[in-house]
Structure 1
Amino acid sequence: MAVDRLLPTPEAEDLIELVRDISDKELALRVDQHELEERYPDGLFATLGAAGLLGLPYPEEFGGGGQPYEVYLQVIEEVAARWAAVAVAMSVHGLACFPLATYGTEKQKQRWLPDMLGGDLVGGYSLSEPHAGSDAAALSCRAEKISDGYRITGTKAWITHGGRADFYSLFARTSTGSRGISCLLAPGSAGGLSFGKPEDKMGLHAIPTTAAHWDGAVLDEDRLIGEEGMGLQIAFSALDSGRLGIAACATGLAQAALDVAVAYANDRTTFGKKIVDHQGLGFLLADMAAAVDSARATYLDAARRRDLGRPYSRQASVAKLTATDAAMKVTTDAVQVLGGAGYTRDFPVERYMREAKIMQIFEGTNQIQRLVISRGLAA
């Protein structure tokens, strides 16, 4: 069911129609087989980039779409309703572009940003480590200053698009303490960079998640984004936007689960009437619809604050928390609506439920979101 969206401009309405068309033709027809076979969708991101969908919230002067976040997130939601793994990868790509677009010099932007925003270069975000997930200040991967740049040594973890991305926004330690983290724009082809076996995940099978091993790789000095020691500032400001991307992914996933559940409830009959007409089930579907609408409202509120240049960090955490918890509940309830059929692979709701779980974990666990929100209330 197409969501009745309240979009700010006719241009945005046309964009959403384009996204729906591409998603129906390029994503919906491929997702089941690719996820089942854990097969990477070769060529898909080039198609999305050629359509202008990978750089939507960034400036037109560098090849972006110049769209407000309010619109960009609704694009992500539409994609997620067809293929969650691809939507997550799109969101992560946008996250990976953020450091350069926001903190890079004019020369750096001119050199790299057009290809990144145009989809010629697809990005990954390399912040987490095996023993430093939510505690980003505990990073140990080192970027040692040498005469011709930085020598990178250490291991990074949980990289979406790991081994497939063309570049990584890499966060590594250049000195001690929480102010000793720096951000570098690392090419995926760097000598001395290798990747582990893709994680054997519960869901999102078509897009790999891997560890990265840096064995003395040397990055040129001009790969430093911002100043040394600004890494955590860059990472955390990027994550506010990234959390909104995940909130939009979760909302799209929940909407897809709701659509399947409603269609099934309208088609199946018991005791002489459609199961949607049984009050117990109808009320469950109503709660699911309310959860999806509420999730969408929270991410749009945060996005509109961002677009107006107002603080939105707390609202981003609220959106991420609300939308991902809603996705977990709605997808679980969708399985319940379908009964035994929902537990089989004949319907996609079992996959939706598996995919929803990770959304409560990455871009900051929902426990971390509660911490951010509570600190915002205490400030």
Structure 2
Amino acid sequence: MIENLKLALNLNFNTGSLEGSIEINLRESIKTFILNKGLKVEEANRELSQELKGIQGFEKFKVSVVKLEEPANNLELIYSGKLESYESVLPYLKDSINREYTLLRTDSLFYPIPAEPAFESLVKSVVSSEFNAEIDIGGVPDDLTIAFGGEIIGNRLIIEGTNRLDIAIAPFHVVEGEQFRLFVLSTKGIERTLDLLRRACEFYSSILGKKTAKYTVIETPENYGGQAGKGYALVSRSSLRREIPANLYHELAHLWNPRVTPEAHLSRFFDEAFANYLTALAIREIHGEEAFNSFIENLRRDYEAVLGRFPEAKKLKPSEWGKLGFWKLSYTRGALILHDLHQKLGEDFYEILRRIVNSTTLDFERFKAIVEDVSGLVIDV
């Protein structure tokens, strides 16, 4: 959806507010954008209206809906206001502007997203975007560091071919490895983390193909939720330093996400299910069979807990999870489906993974065709 984006932000750390100026180019003409509920358009190069409205099917998630009088494929806006947290609706979404830890990410709508105020429309917009972005940030105190997954040149940030933006500002330490760059709030225990990250990357590369670009990890405080972008991840403080850092392996696995259609992405099967099962395989490779079995058993217990609350979920196919609101099954049942498939197919399973990763566009029909072509097995997903 988005093709190019130029954004200038001026942050006020005393009030938690921002002023933004954006130029955005789209691959098609659209009429509606959504913004964080605390932000308001002040000037625009087009006639528009705006109102505060709940996302369809998720009405407590309020957004500023910006509606153009006529559809357009480019837009220039000046907007401002306080970046409001959505923590009361989604506990992980604590994004705000403050000296302790500032986080700006697509999920908190700190820049205009071309979408209707509906969850499905928002997901499809983000997933179908692959844009280049330049961001200039002002107002950052000298004692704080900007963390970003792309190139950082002073207060200018550049990233290519992304579908989301994640910017953190805090008193970070920067730890550089040959292939990795870590923005951490403390260096305690981080050398071990860097070694485990390197080993996990080598393992994924051995089965899926090597990634040559530098990978960035940005530490977050607890309960901010893990997040993966193009060539980077947000990972919590404790997750970075656990004996078995499964969340770190999970976010790293997203580096090999296949390209999927927006409709298929709704189920989260091709990113979260695959990332969780790749996590299990990395745990077996690095920490041994017992740790692997324990991880799989935890997935089974978590899935059974879901069925205890929603027994109807057992009858649903992965292709139905997204539209029916059961996409979280990908983390548990989705990964278990892949585990069962691996047990049935043995080494052929890795050929399926490689074909999926290298697919130009993937959906459930293409996935079924790949499995049948490699193994002769007919599956129903």
TM-score scaled by structure 1?
0.25
Structure with the higher strand share, 1 or 2: 2
Q: Whose relative contact order is higher, 1 or 2, with alpha carbons under 8 Å and at least 6 apart?
A: 1
